[in-house]
Amino acid sequence: MTCEQVLSVEVTENNAGSFPIGVRILVVESDPTCLRIVSKMLQVFGYEVKTATRATDALHILREKEDEINLILTETHLPDMDQYEILEMVGELSSSPIVVFSADNNESTILGCLFKGAELYLVKPVIKNDVKNLWQLTYRTKLKTAVSGEGSNTFHGGSAEQNTSSLTVGNPSSTMGMTDQKGKRKELEETDNDHEYIDNLTALKKSKLVWTNELHNIFLQALRILGVDGAHPKKILQHMNVPGLKKENVSSHLQKYRLYLKREQDGMQKTMVRDCRPSSTFNPQGGPMSVHSLGFVHSPTHVNSNYNGILIPNYVQVDSQSKQLCPSYPNSNHTEIITTTDGSFSSFDQKGKYSVDEHLNQGTTLSNTGTHGPTFLGNSQQQVQFPLPQPQPLPEKEDESEILDIATMEELELLAMEKEFLEDLKNDLW
C-alpha cells in the first residue's frame, strides 16, 4: 500500500521514546468529513483521537476527563461558539497545548488565535507533515511545566519515555491497547483495520530513499574515485559519506546502475539503428539519440532518471571534491547538498532534497527539483566534466514543469501527497 509514503514519523533507536502513541488528542471540527480525515490521519500516526463536532461537546469532554487529553486540535469557526471564545474556554479547562487549524489564513485571525493561547496555527488543508509531529508540542509544554514547578501534565500510558516497548518491532499486539478506545470504528471488520494499524505502526520506520541527481552525482563521484575495481558497495558508501545512507541503498542503486550501463553499452553496439531504442527514461529525448561524436550526451534539463551518467575509466582522476551536508531549514528535514569543486571546474552548488536521513527520519520524498539537468559524463576516453549548464538550446523546449519555480513545485508535491493520502483514506474507509 501507500502506507510507506504516508507514514513517516521521526522514530529512531535514539528517540523512539518520543512517539505519539499514548498521546490523546481532542479534535474539534464541525465538518464531519474533515473531522474524520484529520482523525484518521492522526490515528495512523499513533495518536489516540477523541472527537467533537461542537464546542460544547469539546468542553464537556475536557470537563469530564481533562487529565487524559494531552493535546487539543480545534477549528475556531464552530457553530455554537465565538471564534476566540472557544480558545479561551478550552484554555481555562485544560492546560494542554491548543493547536488551531482553520481555512482562514488571515493574518489577524492567526495572530488573534495565537494571542488567545494557541500554540500553533495550521492553515487548512492540513497535511500529514502538519500533524505527524504535533505530539512534540505536548512534550515541550510538559517540559515547560516541569521546569516551572508543577508537573501536572502527565501523559496517560507514559508515552514520553516508556512507550518505546510498544514500538519495538515484533510486539505489535501491545500497541493494540490504543484501539480499544471508544469503539468508534468497531463496527467495521476489525481484523482488517487492526492489521492495517499494525502494519502502519510497524511500517513507520521506513521511508524510501530517493536518488536525486545530486545524490546520484555523489554516487558517480565515488565510483570515479574508487575506480572500477574498488567500486563495491561498502567502499562506495564510505566515500559518499552521506549520513543515513545504507549499504543496501548503495547496493540496490549500484545494481540498477550497472544494469543501465550494460543496456547502454549494448545499445551502443547496435550502432545507430534507428528506433532500436525506446524512449525510456534513460533516453528521454525519445527517437534519435543526441549523442555527439565524442560520446558526450547532452542531457535535457528535465530528467529524473537516476541511472544516467557513465562510469569513467579509473585512470581519470577527479579533483578533490569536498562534500558537505548542511541542514537547509531548521524545521525542515531535508538536507541540502553542496558540492564544491576546486580550481578548474566551475564550482556548482546544487540544491536538492533527498530523504536519506534514517536518524532524523522524515518521510517526504520530494522529487528532484534540480535546476541543472542530470550530468551525463562521456564514456569515451575523453573525460567530460561535471556540470554542463547550457540553457541556450531551449527555444522550443516544452515541458511547462520546468518553468515552475521550486517553491511552486514543492507546493504541488505536498498537495499531491495530500490528495493521495485522502484517496487512500477513502479507499480504506469508504
- When asked if residue 210 is in the footprint of DNA (CB under 7 A), the reply is yes
233 lies in the binding site for DNA (CB under 7 A): yes
Using rule CB under 7 A, residue 231 touches DNA: yes
Q: Which three cell numbers stand for residue 85?
A: 471564545
Instruction: Calculate ∠ Cα 199-204-208, nearest 5°.
Output: 110
**Segment interacting with DNA, rule: CB under 7 A, options 62-70, 246-254, 310-318, 327-335:** 246-254
Site for DNA in 37-96 (CB under 7 A): none
Q: Which is nearer to DNA, 259 or 415 (CB)?
A: 259
Is the Cβ of residue 9 or residue 254 nearer to DNA in the bound state?
254
The contact mask relative to DNA for 112-151 (x = CB under 7 A, - = no) is: ----------------------------------------
User: How many residues are recorded in the chain?
Assistant: 430
Question: CB of 425: closest distance to DNA in angstroms?
Answer: 18
Q: Which stretch binds DNA (CB under 7 A): 31-39, 111-119, 190-198, 243-251?
A: 243-251
Q: Is 254 in the site for DNA (CB under 7 A)?
A: yes
What is the SS3 assignment for 287? coil
**Which stretch of DSSP H or E encloses residue 48?**
strand 48-52
Least separation in angstroms between residue 200's CB and DNA is: 11
Q: Count CB atoms within 10 A of the CB of residue 100.
A: 28
In the complex, least distance from residue 302 CB atom to DNA, rounded to whole angstroms: 12
Task: Indicate whether 349 belongs to the interface with DNA (CB under 7 A).
Answer: no
Q: How far is the CB of 53 from DNA (least distance, A)?
A: 35
Our CB check for DNA shows the closer of 60 and 232 to be 232
Q: Does 209 bind DNA (CB under 7 A)?
A: yes
Which of residues 74 and 355 has its CB atom nearest to DNA in the complex? Answer: 355
Choice from 143, 188, 259, 394 touching DNA (CB under 7 A): 259
Q: Does 201 bind DNA (CB under 7 A)?
A: no
With CB under 7 A as the contact rule, the residue among 247, 263, 302, 351 that binds DNA is: 247
Residue 165 beta carbon to DNA: minimum distance, rounded to whole angstroms: 22
**In this chain, which of 141, 305, 371, 385 binds DNA, going by CB under 7 A?**
305
Give the cell for residue 228.
572500477
Asked if residue 232 binds DNA (CB under 7 A), the reply is yes
Which residue's C-alpha cell is 471564534? Answer: 83
Of 7, 26, 6, nearest to 182 by C-alpha is 26
* Size, binding site for DNA by CB under 7 A: 28
User: For cell 541542514, what's the residue?
Assistant: 327
Measured from the CB atom, the residue of 305 and 380 that comes closer to DNA is 305
Q: Does 4 bind DNA (CB under 7 A)?
A: yes
Task: State which of residues 235, 263, 302, 323 lies at the interface with DNA (CB under 7 A).
Answer: 235
Side-chain-side CA neighbours of 41 within 13 Å: the count stands at 27
Among the residue ranges 36-44, 55-63, 249-257, 422-430, the one whose residues contact DNA (CB under 7 A): 249-257
Q: Please report which helix (H) or strand (E) contains residue 71, including its range.
A: strand 71-74
Grid coordinates in use for 126?
A: 492540513
Spell out the alpha helix ranges (H) of 231-311. 233-240, 247-269
- Using CB under 7 A, which of the segments 164-172, 287-295, 299-307, 324-332 binds DNA? 299-307
In the complex with DNA, the residue whose CB is nearer, 185 or 351, is: 351
Q: Applying CB under 7 A, does 220 fall inside the site for DNA?
A: no
DSSP per-residue string spanning 308-343: -S-PPPTT------EEEEEESSTT---EEEEEE--T
* Contact flags string 270-289 toward DNA, x per CB under 7 A: -----------x--------
* Other Cβ atoms closer than 10 A to 287: 11
Q: How far is the CB of 229 from DNA (least distance, A)?
A: 9
Q: Please give the helix or strand (H or E) that residue 27 lies within, else none.
A: strand 24-28
Q: Which amino acid is at 196?
A: E
Q: In this structure, what are the phi and psi dihedrals at residue 326, rounded to the nearest 5 degrees?
A: -145, 145
Long-range contacts of 129-133 (CB under 8 A, 24+ apart): 129/363, 129/364, 129/414, 130/101, 131/38, 131/41, 131/42, 131/45, 131/73, 132/8, 132/9, 132/20, 132/45, 132/363, 133/9, 133/10
**12 is a site residue for DNA (CB under 7 A):** no
**For residues 7 and 203, what is the distance between their CA atoms, to the nearest angstrom?**
7
Q: Binding to DNA by residue 208, rule CB under 7 A?
A: yes
Cα torsion at 223, 373, 273, 294 (round to 10°)?
-60
Binding-site ranges for DNA (CB under 7 A): 1, 3-4, 206, 208-211, 231-235, 247-249, 251-256, 258-259, 281, 304-306
